[in-house]
Amino acid sequence: MTGEDPLRDLGVHATGGGGELRIWSGTADAIELCLFDDADPHWITATVPLVRDGNGVWSGSSPLLTPGRAYGVRVSGPPGPGNTFNPSTVLLDPYARGVSRITPGTWRSVVTDEAFDWAGTTKPNVPLDHTVIYEAHVKGLTKLSPQLARELRGTYAGLANNRTVGYLRDLGITAVELLPVHAFASERRLIGQGRTNHWGYNSLSYFAPHPAYASVAAQKAGPAAVLREFKGMVRLLHEAGIEVFLDVVYNHTAEEGIGGPRTSFRGIDNSSYYRQATAGVYVDTTGCGNSLDFSQDAPVRMVLDSVRYWANEVQIDGFRFDLAVTLGRDAMGGFDAEHPLLAGLRDDPALQGVKLIAEPWDVGHEGWQTGNFPDGWSEWNDRFRDSVRDFWLTDLAAARRGEHRAGGTGKLATALAGSADTFAKDRGPLASVNFVTAHDGFTLADLVAYDSKHNLGNGEQNRDGTDNNRSFNFGAEGATRDWRMVAARRRAMRNLMGTLLLSAGIPMITAGDEFGRTQHGNNNAYCHDSELTWLSWQHAGWQRELHAVVAKLLRLRRENPALRPVRYSVPNTHTPSASEMSWYAADGQPMTSHDWADPGTRCLQYVASSTPEVEAPNRVLLVVNGAEHDCTVTLPPHEGVADWELLWTSADDAAEGEMLPVGGEYPLPGPALALFRAVDGVAVDRVPAL
């Protein structure tokens, strides 16, 4: 597009005599701005008819449209399939920077003063290969924190508190990924059951922070204070070198299916925002009642504008796009990797350096697209999750039944090396966001304690949540006092976490997994705003030990660039910033095709040698024993290596520093991992942490 964008500056902007509202609707035939009384948000004190230009932008000004003013719009339009206009309904401005809840189901847009002193703080710009994501819920993270003043617990300010920030920094993560913080509402079904949408995947407004996560003082002061508290959180995390990612839900809205709430888009231009079939029937690829239609310009423009706002005005570092396949569906409903929205987010000059992460599936036709997003995007790697769970859990369960499952070792090896079977070679291992758990599904502790979900408390007769957990309870469902079972579970957690943090790709830890939190077998706790989902900060000794293991693994990841390749290596070719990988059997000899195909192969060795551009050369050896018996390995010979130094093993958290010669034997009781670093030859001293 050349010249000035005719759809610029949507929303409210200050003028010399108050403010101007600009709102887009291509189908409406009249729009009226409604201004509300300062004291009574139900009382409309003034109205302003908006005037349409040739591009569908309706605009109008008022001296009353100043910071703190509650406002909305009423929209009229033609009847007919696809349209749902109702001029009696006051709607939210889709671009409002602040929203206020008046009554259950009733909201007002609020003009905000967006001024903020960033005090010279800039984005940390953590390199992608150093990135470690910590997925957390704003409220759940600190609601039970005994170190915070009560009024700060569960708030943006509580997350920004120096005790919380210090905990995150000391753990070693580089980015906090926040579950949805766009203003959201609970579904009518949940409200009728007396429940709430705790996770927040039901967006009401894409430009306003969720007001209920602000401190009580900020909520009372109004949306501008809520926004300042949010920005203050970002600033303090940035000062500590921690990036902030947002989990964003642009695939559907809180307006649900036809007959659901009419709060904004549905009343402004239903046919231009939502994907529909004949007679106005919604095409739902999200399972939430509606899907935004990204074959049309209005939703594409809105998402680009929203992401630009958060990335530039609020200084957000990255975005994880929920059900991102819906964002890439074309007019025929098919997924297009070069969809204008996906390409636009990547190529927009205003978004350069912003990290983009896709949840690469939805529930529509051909909705599973892991590995198919364009260059410049990273993706949640569900194949990694499944391969790692299978190797350490379901394969062990099968072995106890006398079964041998083929392929598990090869799949684990592929996951460790960066999932080259899933992502195109030119995208590299950093296209993969590796995870073993996430907000939905079992926690790490529950993954090793439950074979089945326990979701009766969700009010859906245990029908909700996946049944494909790939979990293993090691002999009893839920809590047990059997010390053998407890020990096996704790080692399994170390194996799972170790695999996650020692694999090529971008690791993501779910908040609380670093100390083994439980949800008592609930694998879909989206509707529980309670101690079931809030993190407990009262920890037993074994939880503190697990936390120390995770912190140590993160330190080892920082210190050893061979664990963090940027590119895939190419055989017989020097590839900068890759890790050249070699695989050995237990006897120290190279793995053969027979070894890979043998379902009895559960013990192998993996050498990764970095080919750095900006860090010192580095070489590590990872020994894997995936069986419940000892495996004595012969440490493999490797060019330039004289000895191997033990850095960590899940079999004994305290074991480290032992020097073993090439060709020496190392007994590893299984199931377990052991990490070594090469000494002498090409190996060098540890690289300082960032």
Cα angle, residue 40 at apex, residues 35 and 41 outer, rounded to 5°: 50
Q: Which secondary structure element, helix H or strand E, spans residue 550, and what is its range?
A: helix 541-559
User: What are the φ/ψ torsions at residue 45 (nearest 5 degrees)?
Assistant: -95, -20
Contact predicate 546/490, CB 8 Å: yes
Tokens of 290: 């509606």
Helix, strand, or coil (residue 507): strand
Helix, strand, or coil (residue 438): coil
C-alpha distances (whole Å) from 636 to each of 132, 411, 605, 623 are 30, 22, 8, 10
Rounded to the nearest 10 degrees, the angle between the axes of helix 541-559 and helix 483-501 is: 20
Contact predicate 572/677, CB 8 Å: no
**Which residues of 499-637 form beta strands (DSSP E)?**
506-510, 579-585, 603-610, 619-625, 631-634
Sequence-distant (6+) residues with CB within 8 A of 68 are 38, 110, 111, 113, 222, 224
Tokens of 56: 């569908």
CA dist 3 and 21 (Å) reads 22
Sequence-distant (6+) residues with CB within 8 A of 451 are 469, 471, 472, 473, 477
Return the closest-CA partner of residue 412 out of 496, 507, 471, 510: 496
C-alpha distances (whole Å) from 523 to each of 136, 474, 553 are 16, 18, 26
Tokens of 161: 């508190």
Selected catalytic residue, list 269, 336, 359, 395: 359
Selected catalytic residue, list 229, 269, 322, 580: 322
Contact predicate 458/464, CB 8 Å: yes
CA dist 114 and 225 (Å) reads 9
Would residue 313 show up in a list of annotated catalytic residues for this protein? no
Return the closest-CA partner of residue 444 out of 542, 565, 559: 542
> Side chain identity at 231, as an amino acid letter?
K
Return the closest-CA partner of residue 650 out of 509, 550, 511: 550
Return the closest-CA partner of residue 389 out of 420, 358, 411, 417: 411
Burial of 230 (0-12, 13-18, 19+ CB in 10 A): buried
Count CA within 13 A, CB hemisphere, residue 564: 25
Return the closest-CA partner of residue 129 out of 576, 480, 605, 571: 576
CA dist 137 and 133 (Å) reads 13
Would residue 359 show up in a list of annotated catalytic residues for this protein? yes
Burial of 320 (0-12, 13-18, 19+ CB in 10 A): buried
CA dist 351 and 308 (Å) reads 7
Active site residues per annotation: 322, 359
